[in-house]
Structure 1
Amino acid sequence: MQNQFQLIQPSILLLLLSGLLPTFAQTINPLPEKHQQPDTTIVLEKVTIEGFRLSSHLRTFPGNLSVLAGKDFMLSDGTNLATTLNTLPGINMQSGTYATNRIVIRGMGSRTPYNTNRIRSYLNDIPITTSDGISAPEEIDAQNLGRIEVIRGPSSALYGSGLGGSVNLFTPEKLKNEGNFSLNYGSFSTLKTNISGTLNTANTHLWGSLSHLQSDGYRENNEFRRTSFLTTAKWKQSKWTLKSTLLLTDSEAEIPSSLGKTKFENEPQAAAANWAAIEGHKKNQKAMAGLSFTNFLSSTLTQQLSLHGKWSDNYEKRPFNNLSDQTLSAGIRGKLSHYRRVTDWVLGIDWITEQYKWKLDQDNILLNENRETRNQFSAFAILNYRLTTRLSLSVAGTLNHIRYRLTDMYAANGDQSGRRNFPVIVSPRLGLNYIVGEHLSFYASAGHGFSMPSPEETLLPAGDVNPDIKPEQGMQYETGTRLNLFGNAVEAEVSVYWIELNNLLVTKRITEDIFTGMNAGKTRHQGLKLMLHNRIVEYRIPGNLNPLSLTPFS
């Protein structure tokens, strides 16, 4: 309770300001289009995106990207992102409990049992994904989002090089002072509250939100509680802009775990007996912050410097042992952007260092304690060239270098410390987009992506560093078309893709609590995507056809 109070303290000033505002309602009508900012809203004629790391329009994007905003968020109760994301073809978000979720894009991430992997996620361009590839975008309250961009497949220099693609979250930017309050109550004593406020002056924009979600859950040993505070600020001058984002989260979730087939068919609400007996649960406290400074060097040249950091403290009580782990990371991103009528380009670097500490104990007896330090460096370049008014070319690439250092802090089983430097990985991308007319465009792209092994996968069962484990790598080839009809009231998109993956990373379970990683051959993912969105009666029809072939390792 004390930690929860400390988490709420920073929001007191925001709430007092919100209480003084004249508007206090559950929903706010949007401003007329002429007053809206094109980089934060969806309008019928153009959808502005950040998929290039250069603001652009959806119909000129040479790849497969979907945008959710506005009324798209009204399809769910706001307790989970699954309902919203699952309206998009090729994306499947599975939710076992509020604390156990998995996002799969075109089959990527399906081999990770309890979380999201192979997919990168960002909040206001701050990496949510940890250095081992784990993402948890569902921890952010859906009511605190103004837009979601989903890029399918290896996105190369666009947003890292996640094999499955990326999920990019953006907080809302509202132009008038307002306050909002919502209260929802549902089955299984589910209670959700959210209070937010916006304060604007001539050169300053402040927004913040405090939200709380709790539920008893459908199953035994399934109670959940999460309190989060998210705030953004923006200061604008004629030659520069400064943006900041801060997210604080405190959550606690009981773990019902999985059931056997017979038990599930006869008593689906039951928890696994061993987890229920000890009241298994996990507690998480997280903080994430980012600061971005943009300097307008000229009318065509922009420089941006971003600093970001994350911290988390987690504890999980399990039948076989207890896990305590802490993560601390920091990163810096520099980007130089040049905009011209025919060409624009971006040059940049990313550097992230992360320290992950974990220990296992049982009956107050220490079993294991380690610290792993990961350093990632990447340099990226993007060139967009408009060959004609209708045909545009995008060329991009990233150089990636990753190294690990494991420090064994438990002397009882000998020193198992070690290092691992991975070779430099080059991730190229090529895209073409052709605008046939006002309502029709075609695109084609090819891109490379990779996924790094998790901490469990980098270690052998005895705890030593695995010298043979390799990153999972793949290429995606795709072509598609976008169609707008009846004054943009009906949107359609059709695409086909082919993905070749090598050095598959597979987690092998040695015992109930010991995992290791191995490279297991290759797979081929082929699919057809169909999306039809009608704004007349507001329905969206997603569709997928995804055959899959497997080649076992030898």
Structure 2
Amino acid sequence: MAYSQWSLYKTLNQSVLILVFSNMKILFTLLIALSASFSIAQTQFTVQDADTQKPLENVLIRVNDKSFFSDKDGKVDIPGSEPITALFFLEGYETIQGNFQPGSYTLRLKSLSYSLSDFTVTAFETERPLLKQSAAISLIGEQDFSRFNETSIVNSFNTKPGIRIEERAPASYRVSIRGSSLRAPFGVRNVKIYWNEVPFTAPDGTTALNLLDLSNIRTAEVIKGPSGSIYGAGNGGVINLKSAADPKGGLVSAEYGGGSFGLNRSRIAISQQVGKGGFEASLVKQKLDGYREHSAMDRTVFQLGGFMPVSQKQELRTQLLVSDLDYQIPGALNAQQLAEDPRQARPGSVNQNSSIAQKSVFASLGHLYRFSEKAQNNTTLYLTTNDFENPFILDYKKELGFGYGGRTRFTFDWNLAGKPFRIIAGGEYQTALTDAQNFGNRNGLADTVRFADKLKATQGFLFQQAEWEPTEKILLTLGLSQNFSSFEIDRQINASGGPTGLQTRTFDPILIPRLAANYSINPYSSIFGSISSGFSPPTIDEVRTNEGSLNLDLEAERGVNYELGYRLGKSRLNVDVTAFYFNLNETITTFTNAQGVVLFRNSGSTDQKGIEAAIDYVFIQQAVGFFRNFKAGTAFTGHYFQFKDYEQRGNDFSGNDLTGVAPNNLVSKLDFRFAGGFYLNFTHQFTDEIPLNDANTVYQDAYNLVNTRLGIIQNLGKRTVIELYAGVDNLLNESYSLGNDLNPFGGRFYQPAPTRNYYGGLKASFRY
């Protein structure tokens, strides 16, 4: 081989060797890097709000001495292959700490408080921040429910100004918003209630609120005062109850609670995501022997809800509620009986088995359709059945009913004079058919039929609402509805020899206007004012009484409400103050005849002046130390209501205080959160003396209620959360009535409430 060829060969060979070794070096380096990448694991967290399940940004995650923050999607990566102990902190949320192996986790932080500037509500069918709403609205959520024994809605609602829920016997509710229970000797009247956007109030104006377990309610928005411009009849206000949530992943939860007077409550539930939708199901069983003789309660509630996005434009929601309720009615006592033994039942209640047995099915289907980004329709239809049986001291009532109805609304957004303008228009219709029979009561059994009727109640209205924002600070609202209502009483049997046949009552169509304005002082505060009209026709139970008479001349109540309010929501401070004046005409009041039958009458007019205020402040919010959170709040209700023009049977009650309304009520709350997941809630409620008759000669004494609950919440592993809790109701052992009888015959005013009582329980949830 020639020298030149050898040199060329040598040069090429060296180049190839250099290239090979270089590539091997690169390959080796890549292999080392790849190997290292496999050996370096990480822990990834997605942090969400526990209620809305929306991502939380800027959550502080502290691991040893290092700090990390979640991004706008709620995500954060912690490098390392070793197990870690991580603490999660975000102001306004419960701080949690846990041990985690490398992997992916979704954590949901529970809000400790809310700022009015951030909280969004859907009152008056428009979703806006609370600071932009032009009405007196109170919000009740799971945090309010879990402050107390979770067997009743009473305590949580009663922490809000202007709202009072009474429970004369377990599950025997009476709702009063600004004194609206004056005409409700029993049951819920004069207040419109919706459950998951469906009218839960029957077309005759009554609401079987006791068919719901507290777990069927996640949040409640209470609009105080007449809201007929968009919600129809009811001078007291509107309560929007919501339980539906969009399931995320899979969750199984169970709980058990027990307590004084034979309390036992158990619940099991499952939530499962299916595609982009999902379903939730729960079964709750609650039993109670009761504080008083003959005051036991037994309720079973099954709920099934589904959420199904059909497309980008359409969504379907379904709800099924099956409720089986039995509760005993001990009855009211007079002063002598109360002094002798407050736990006794009214004479005759036990022998006659005074009680209520009610079975009900409630099913609904909702459909949302988005025509465009600026136009949509939301329609909900429902069916309900009701089997009702009520042996009472004086008679025995049986009812079998069927009802149906629906609500639809269209929302359109565009500009007027270059400024945002929204139109909401729609309608609501309800009808109910009932076979009602009244028998004699022979030792708790139905005896000979006294009278029997076929009943039909119909109610409907059309509504329109316009909202215009002429500037960024001003929101103007004008609402109007036209309302129709009627009922039919077709008497089939009248054992007393009275007339039979069809009798009807149709109320004239009523136009109900509402004018409101909201002015944003700054991003954290606003003022609002409104003028709204309201009406409330009598219910069939008020026209058709237990002894068989028909009071077809009973007129609908009419009223006008004026209110002015101020809200502040900044950082740790929330302030909400409202002053109002409500003038009510044709006020319906109650009285009892010598046989003990409750009757109704129109009683002229009333003047209702009031102020309602709530203040909350978070004093401590920190991620370290023994005290993690300390929040205090107070709510004041000043209701100075009087009969303006009221003469009855030769008695002039004009100027007297309105029956059944406490002039002053003050609630104070203290909430503590400690290291290790411990918490303590403390609530004090002062209720002023209450006039129990129109003459203002009998009052219930003022009383103080103190309730407290403590517990611990812990994460067990990455999927399981448990809570152990215990509490005391009526810590001071006060003697009081939570729902007196008004204007009763024989002085039977008093329905004694439980004395000091205890409860406790365990909750567990597993996310799979």
Question: What is the TM-score normalised by the length of structure 1?
Answer: 0.90
Radius of gyration: which is bigger? 2
Q: Within 2, Cα distance between the matches of 1:209 and 1:528?
A: 40
Matched, 1:383 2:383: no
Query: What is the one-letter code of the residue matched to 1:386?
Result: E
Aligned residue for 2:160, secondary structure, equals coil
Shift of 1:507: 3.4
Check 1:527–1:483 CA distance in 2 against 1; reply closer, same or farther (3 A cut): same
Structure 1 stretch 155-164 or stretch 249-258: which is displaced more?
155-164
Among 502, 510, 535, the alignment partner of 1:450 is 535
Structure 2 counterpart of 1:549: 642
Aligned CA RMSD, in angstroms, stands at 2.2
The aligned runs of 1:172-321 (5 Å cut-off) are 172-173=244-245, 174-236=247-309, 237-321=311-395
Contact 1:417–1:465 (CA<8 Å) still a contact in 2?
no
Contact 2:538–2:556 (CA<8 Å) still a contact in 1?
yes
Q: Within 2, Cα distance between the matches of 1:473 and 1:417?
A: 27
Check 1:411–1:162 CA distance in 2 against 1; reply closer, same or farther (3 A cut): closer
Aligned residue for 1:264, secondary structure, equals helix
Aligned residue for 2:500, secondary structure, equals coil
Check 1:223–1:70 CA distance in 2 against 1; reply closer, same or farther (3 A cut): closer
Shift of 1:405: 1.5
Shift of 1:152: 0.2
Contact 2:185–2:598 (CA<8 Å) still a contact in 1?
no
Q: Within 1, Cα distance between the matches of 2:337 and 2:597?
A: 25
Q: Within 1, Cα distance between the matches of 2:253 and 2:188?
A: 31
Contact 1:301–1:339 (CA<8 Å) still a contact in 2?
yes
The aligned runs of 1:63-82 (5 Å cut-off) are 63-82=135-154
Aligned residue for 2:180, secondary structure, equals coil
Among 576, 584, 602, the alignment partner of 1:493 is 576
Aligned residue for 2:514, secondary structure, equals strand
Q: Within 2, Cα distance between the matches of 1:304 and 1:461?
A: 40
Matched, 1:143 2:215: yes
Contact 1:78–1:141 (CA<8 Å) still a contact in 2?
no
Sequence identity, in percent?
A: 22
Structure 1 stretch 126-135 or stretch 422-431: which is displaced more?
126-135
Matched, 1:346 2:424: yes
Contact 1:406–1:465 (CA<8 Å) still a contact in 2?
no
Query: What is the one-letter code of the residue matched to 2:249?
Result: K
Contact 1:419–1:465 (CA<8 Å) still a contact in 2?
no
Note the residue ranges of structure 2 that are not aligned, 5 or more in a row: 1-49, 58-72, 75-109, 620-629, 649-768
Matched, 1:424 2:509: yes
Q: Within 1, Cα distance between the matches of 2:558 and 2:52?
A: 44
Contact 1:500–1:524 (CA<8 Å) still a contact in 2?
yes
Structure 2 counterpart of 1:124: 196
Matched, 1:356 2:430: no
Q: Within 2, Cα distance between the matches of 1:264 and 1:460?
A: 28
Matched, 1:328 2:402: yes
Check 1:93–1:61 CA distance in 2 against 1; reply closer, same or farther (3 A cut): same
Q: Within 1, Cα distance between the matches of 2:544 and 2:143?
A: 46
Contact 2:326–2:355 (CA<8 Å) still a contact in 1?
yes
Structure 1 counterpart of 2:585: 502
Shift of 1:47: 1.3
Q: Within 1, Cα distance between the matches of 2:335 and 2:596?
A: 22
Contact 1:522–1:553 (CA<8 Å) still a contact in 2?
no
Shift of 1:514: 4.1
Contact 2:178–2:225 (CA<8 Å) still a contact in 1?
yes
Contact 2:560–2:583 (CA<8 Å) still a contact in 1?
yes
Describe the superposition over 1:365-393 as per-residue Cα deviations: whole angstroms up to 9, x where unpaired: 11110122112121000111111101000
Structure 1 counterpart of 2:162: 90
Aligned residue for 1:549, secondary structure, equals strand
Query: What is the one-letter code of the residue matched to 1:356?
Result: T
Structure 2 counterpart of 1:523: 606
Shift of 1:357: 2.5
Check 1:540–1:110 CA distance in 2 against 1; reply closer, same or farther (3 A cut): farther
Q: Within 1, Cα distance between the matches of 2:646 and 2:613?
A: 30
Query: What is the one-letter code of the residue matched to 1:33?
Result: L
Contact 2:301–2:321 (CA<8 Å) still a contact in 1?
yes
Q: Within 1, Cα distance between the matches of 2:51 and 2:602?
A: 52
Q: Within 2, Cα distance between the matches of 1:410 and 1:67?
A: 47
Structure 1 counterpart of 2:565: 480
The aligned runs of 1:104-123 (5 Å cut-off) are 104-123=176-195
Shift of 1:321: 1.5
Query: What is the one-letter code of the residue matched to 1:221?
Result: H
Q: Within 2, Cα distance between the matches of 1:53 and 1:30?
A: 19
Shift of 1:504: 1.1
Contact 1:418–1:464 (CA<8 Å) still a contact in 2?
no
Structure 1 stretch 519-528 or stretch 335-344: which is displaced more?
335-344
Contact 2:198–2:407 (CA<8 Å) still a contact in 1?
no
Q: Within 1, Cα distance between the matches of 2:484 and 2:242?
A: 28
| Equivalent pairs, count | 522
Contact 1:418–1:465 (CA<8 Å) still a contact in 2?
no
Contact 2:378–2:410 (CA<8 Å) still a contact in 1?
yes
Q: Within 2, Cα distance between the matches of 1:250 and 1:134?
A: 18
Structure 1 counterpart of 2:243: 171
Q: Within 2, Cα distance between the matches of 1:43 and 1:112?
A: 34
Check 1:535–1:176 CA distance in 2 against 1; reply closer, same or farther (3 A cut): farther
Query: What is the one-letter code of the residue matched to 1:47?
Result: F
Q: Within 1, Cα distance between the matches of 2:431 and 2:373?
A: 34
Structure 2 counterpart of 1:534: 617
Aligned residue for 1:71, secondary structure, equals helix
Q: Within 2, Cα distance between the matches of 1:292 and 1:172?
A: 12
Describe the superposition over 1:436-469 as per-residue Cα deviations: whole angstroms up to 9, x where unpaired: 0022100001111111112233248985654432
Shift of 1:483: 0.9
Aligned residue for 1:84, secondary structure, equals helix
Shift of 1:157: 2.8
Shift of 1:161: 3.3
The aligned runs of 1:400-411 (5 Å cut-off) are 400-411=483-494
Check 1:219–1:197 CA distance in 2 against 1; reply closer, same or farther (3 A cut): same
Shift of 1:473: 1.0
Aligned residue for 1:371, secondary structure, equals strand
Check 1:513–1:285 CA distance in 2 against 1; reply closer, same or farther (3 A cut): farther
Q: Within 2, Cα distance between the matches of 1:110 and 1:346?
A: 33
Structure 2 counterpart of 1:18: none
Q: Within 1, Cα distance between the matches of 2:553 and 2:168?
A: 34
Aligned residue for 2:146, secondary structure, equals helix
Check 1:185–1:299 CA distance in 2 against 1; reply closer, same or farther (3 A cut): same
Query: What is the one-letter code of the residue matched to 1:301?
Result: A
Query: What is the one-letter code of the residue matched to 1:353?
Result: T
Contact 1:478–1:495 (CA<8 Å) still a contact in 2?
yes
Shift of 1:423: 0.4
Q: Within 1, Cα distance between the matches of 2:187 and 2:140?
A: 22
Check 1:138–1:252 CA distance in 2 against 1; reply closer, same or farther (3 A cut): closer
Contact 2:359–2:387 (CA<8 Å) still a contact in 1?
yes
Q: Within 1, Cα distance between the matches of 2:125 and 2:432?
A: 24
Question: What is the TM-score normalised by the length of structure 2?
Answer: 0.65
Structure 1 counterpart of 2:755: none
Describe the superposition over 1:501-522 as per-residue Cα deviations: whole angstroms up to 9, x where unpaired: 0011223434536444322101
Q: Within 2, Cα distance between the matches of 1:411 and 1:116?
A: 29
Describe the superposition over 1:263-316 as per-residue Cα deviations: whole angstroms up to 9, x where unpaired: 112211111121122332221101111111111111111022221122111111
